[in-house]
A and B are shown apart, each in its own frame.
Chain A
Amino acid sequence: MIPDEAHGVIGLQPSACTSCMICVRECPTWCIELESHTEEVSEPGARRPKTINVLDAFRIDFGLCMYCGICVDLCPFDALAWSPGFDHAASSAGGLVHGINELVNWWPATNPSPAD
Chain B
Amino acid sequence: MIRVDAAEWRSTIAGFHGSGCTLFGFLTGVDRGDSVEIIGRVAHPESIEAHLISTTIPAGGTLPSLNDLYLGASWHERETGEMFGITFAGLTDARPLLRRAQQGSPPLLKSSVLVARVVREWPGAAEASDDGRRGGNPSRRRQRPAGVPEGFMQDEADGRSAIGGT
Contacts and interface: CB of A to CB of B under 8 A. Distances in A.
Interface of A: 19, 21, 24-25, 27, 30, 32-38, 53, 56-57
Contacts of B131: 37-38
A24 B126 CA distance: 9
A21 B132 contact: no
B90 interface: no
Contacts, number: 36
23 contacts: A19-B128, A21-B124, A21-B126, A21-B127, A21-B128, A24-B123, A24-B124, A24-B126, A27-B123, A30-B117, A30-B120, A30-B122, A30-B124, A32-B123, A33-B134, A34-B123, A35-B132, A35-B134, A36-B126, A37-B128, A37-B131, A38-B129, A53-B128
What are the 3 tightest A-B residue pairs by CB atom distance, in nearest-first order? Answer: A25-B124, A35-B132, A53-B128
A80 B126 CA distance: 19
A53 B127 CA distance: 10
Interface string B123-153: 1101111011110000000000000000000
Interface of B: 117, 120, 122-124, 126-129, 131-134
Contacts of A25: 124
A56 B127 CA distance: 12
Given A21-B126, A24-B124, A37-B132, 10 more contacts: A21-B128, A24-B126, A27-B123, A30-B117, A30-B120, A30-B123, A33-B123, A35-B126, A35-B134, A37-B128
